[in-house]
Amino acid sequence: MNYPEHDSPFLNPHLAATGRLDELQKFLDHMEGHLHSDLKWVKEETHVDLENDYLPLFGNVLPPILYSSVALSVVIFLEVHMKRFCELLQQRFKLGLRLNDLSGSTVERFKRYSEKIAELEIKVLFTSWEDVIAIFEVRNCFVHQDGDLNNFSGRAAIESFLQRHNLPPPQKNQLRANREMCEQFMKIGYWLIEAVYTAAYKKDSPGVASSTQPNAS
């Protein structure tokens, strides 16, 4: 993670953004641990009748709910932060246009505003804008169609994303969240935040060295 060695209005939002992703990762690990321990208890300690009632709940029902909730939370956070980041760019560099003055999807407007209006040199080294668009499509599919890919406009982007990152494919046209999907969403979030803030620091103070620390992700 790159931090400037001078005061910057981008520093606190940068730290807050990575901190939020850290919290989501900790929440996922904590809740997943509870599900595993509860599933083990049901299998080993309960009466067979109770096991028949609760084994499907802890084994099949609750995990996808947890994983989809975390995946959606990552995308919602990124969407909100994209808007706040553009507001910060507008204020810092006294830009005439606002993000809402542009047309297109949230990701398209954010990319255009950052690179064309604010003239940031964003280097997304470990992921791609294609991935960022894809996780937003996954969010839309879960929210608007409960994971059903039939007749979903973003299906091609989602399937390409899953194949690109070796994630489990949909079963019977039904998208299902899992641990691997959550981890990939987290990585994309970390990498995007790092890329845009590194570019903002560079434009804010050209030639100023930055101190580098390893990314916790």
User: Which three-class secondary structure string do you get for 154-199?
Assistant: CHHHHHHHHHHCCCCCCECCECCCCHHHHHHHHHHHHHHHHHHHHH
Beta bridge partners of 171: 174
> What is the pLDDT of the chain when averaged over all its residues?
85
Count H helices and E strands in the chain, helices first: 7, 2
* Rounded percentage of the chain residues whose pLDDT exceeds 90: 69
Q: Give the residue with greater pLDDT, 214 vs 12.
A: 12
The SS3 of residue 152 is coil
d(CA 100, CA 136): 18
Q: Give the residue with greater pLDDT, 210 vs 181.
A: 181
* Rounded percentage of the chain residues whose pLDDT exceeds 70: 78
Confidence band (pLDDT; 50, 70, 90) for 188?
very high
Q: Is the pLDDT of residue 128 over 90?
A: no
Q: What is the pTM of this model?
A: 0.83
Contacts of 21 (CB under 8 A, 6+ apart): 74, 77, 186, 189, 190, 193, 217
d(CA 147, CA 154): 11
**Vertex 217: Cα angle to 198 and 134 (nearest 5):** 75
Most confident of the following: 4-8, 24-28, 38-42, 54-58: 24-28
Q: Is the pLDDT of residue 183 over 60?
A: yes
pLDDT value for 21: 96
pLDDT value for 212: 38
Q: Give the residue with greater pLDDT, 47 vs 129.
A: 129
